[in-house]
Structure 1
């Protein structure tokens, strides 16, 4: 079911709720919970419709939403894949900012055996 909660655990939680809240107030709380779930679902549907409207339905339908699920990412697997890559030319995708692109373009490559420039005042 949801987040590892089995049916048995739900029954235990319902039993505890009946004991703590009491049978007289339980229907009122159940109704409030139902209203909250309905409003949460309505909020999610409205958000999805707004995103579809803003992005465009053709682009929205093409997105693989399961690929963007953060639960599928395992940092250990990502690091292992990056370190154990067989192709040395293959680099993991990086986010490159404008400043790093400008720095790479303005910095000439060093000749073999040449020392990099050193600025004593900068350190």
Structure 2
């Protein structure tokens, strides 16, 4: 909240109470309460208007799933690396089918510790 921690906020409130004084404090508190109520009403009205203009097809959208703060790049990479889905066929395996049209691997397996070399890569 504006880079102010809890103790600094308490000190600001105490100084404001001393500067404003006990005779004007109830009036300012009433004005602050009215401002908060108007702000809350304004936000509720704006939310209702947006919901009306978007229509019923957006009422069932779970907006929390689209929150960018929930994405953890480490988890995304970990899930992608641990995915057990089979690798897609390469173009060479599709073009050079094995016996009975079954696809065969395009290149022999690479030595352990070395990356495979693709001679068709651009």
Higher relative contact order (CA 8 A, sep 6+): 2
Query: TM-score under structure 2 normalisation?
Result: 0.50
